[in-house]
Amino acid sequence: MLLMVTCMKKNNKGFTLIEILAVIVILGIIMVIAVPEVSRLVTKSKMESLKISADGIMRAAQLYQSSNIQSDDVTKFTILNGEETSLNKLNYQGKVDSGTVMIYGDDEIALCVTSGRYTAIKNIDDSKITVTEGSCLFNEQTQAFEFKEYCGDYIDELNDLKAQGNATSENILSGKSALINGVLTEGTMANNGSLSAILKAGESFTVPEGFTSGGMISAESLETLTSSANATAADITIGKTAYIDGVEVVGTKPAFDTVVFAGSSYTAAKDGVLVFSYTIAGGVDTGETHQMHSILYKNGVPIHDVWYNSRGWTSENSGLYKYRYDMKAGDVFSYTWSQNFGTAQSIQGVNMTAFY
């Protein structure tokens, strides 16, 4: 016998790009066909599951109705977060998120239960339970449950927005309210309305805490604040200023410096006025002649040369004698005096004062 062995060549060749693309296209077509169908089947399954639970609740309500004497009042059962929250319990078989069951005195039953985004409703005039996407609400006018379009996506968005709030009651005006993190919050902020004040120089205004609707805080004008002033430029010393009726006024009154000296000579520092004065004290009449000789010199020339002769000088005759003389810068003033008063009279004092 001839044994023949055939050796096959090993093929290490992989998939081509065209083959991979073809597979991807086929998978895409399958997904387009399959996903909607799968989604439809999932929806149908959830709706049928809710229908079964609603039927179980309906049977539990009928059993409760047959076991209890009904009055004309409505017996209401509530379900929240999968648990019965009403005083009376149905002890139903099934699973729902929330709902309301109403047993009427005439042996009629209505219910509305939800699971996820689906709702089952049966009113007293309905022959069967209807399940659809959405939620339900009770219409007080028709006394019946009604479907409400599903808006869960919008509610989720709204909840996300509500969770972003960070205000507190102190940030909200008193008498107003707002939802903050899903909680209705009443405002406590004081409403101060419109604020206004007119301030004088140096005054301040304390703004109260809370809300203000505007207003104006202003200061009295400089004209108003200085309207009581009555000086003029001639009343204000040269080099000084003052505000009068809101206008800055520059002084024109010469500024006088005063120099009082008791020596026998003085040289004027600048143009001004010299006051030469002396005082004669009172005395008594002794029958003697009283004499005083007073001389004031300006640049060596006598400008005041007086003899006083008197008898019987008394205290009523005493007094202060003043003389005023204009002077220019550099003028030299000096004075001399002599007396012959006997024993009853004396000079009190002699002085010169320069005003610039």
For 163-181, the pLDDT digits (tens) are 777 888 888 888 888 878 7
CATH of the domain at 270: 2.60.120.260
pLDDT of 128 over the 80 cut: yes
For residue 285, the 8-state DSSP code is -
Residue 224 belongs to a domain: yes
Residue spans of alpha helices (H) in the chain: 17-67, 152-162, 222-225
Domain annotation covers residue 15: no
Same domain, 70 and 168: no
Residue 24 lies in a domain: no
Q: What residue type is assigned to position 217 of the chain?
A: I
Contact of 275 with 258, CB cutoff 8 Å:
no
The 3-state DSSP class for residue 135 equals: strand
d(CA 214, CA 198): 15
pLDDT tens for 238-296 read: 788 999 888 999 988 766 678 777 667 889 988 888 888 876 655 555 555 666 777 88
351 occurs within a structural domain: yes
The two tokens of residue 315 are 């205290």
On whether both 168 and 262 belong to a single domain, the answer is no
Please report whether residue 195 resides in a domain: no
How far is Cα 88 from Cα 109, in angstroms, rounded to an integer?
15
Closest CA to 111 of 47, 45, 59: 59
* Residue 53 CB neighbour total at 10 angstroms: 19
Structure tokens, 156:
């989720």
Does 285 map to a domain? yes
Confidence check: pLDDT of 45 > 50 = yes
- Asked if 112 and 38 sit in the same domain, the reply is yes
Integer Cα distance of 204 and 217 in angstroms:
10
Residue 315 lies in a domain: yes
**108 and 44 share one domain:** yes
Q: Total domain count for the chain?
A: 4
Output DSSP code: residue 342: T
- What pTM was estimated for this model as a whole? 0.38
Which amino acid belongs to residue 237?
Answer: T
163 and 248 share one domain: no
Query: Considering the domain boundaries, does residue 4 fall inside one?
Result: no
Q: Tell which of 166, 183, 200 closes a domain.
A: 183
Domain extent, residue 165, equals 154-183
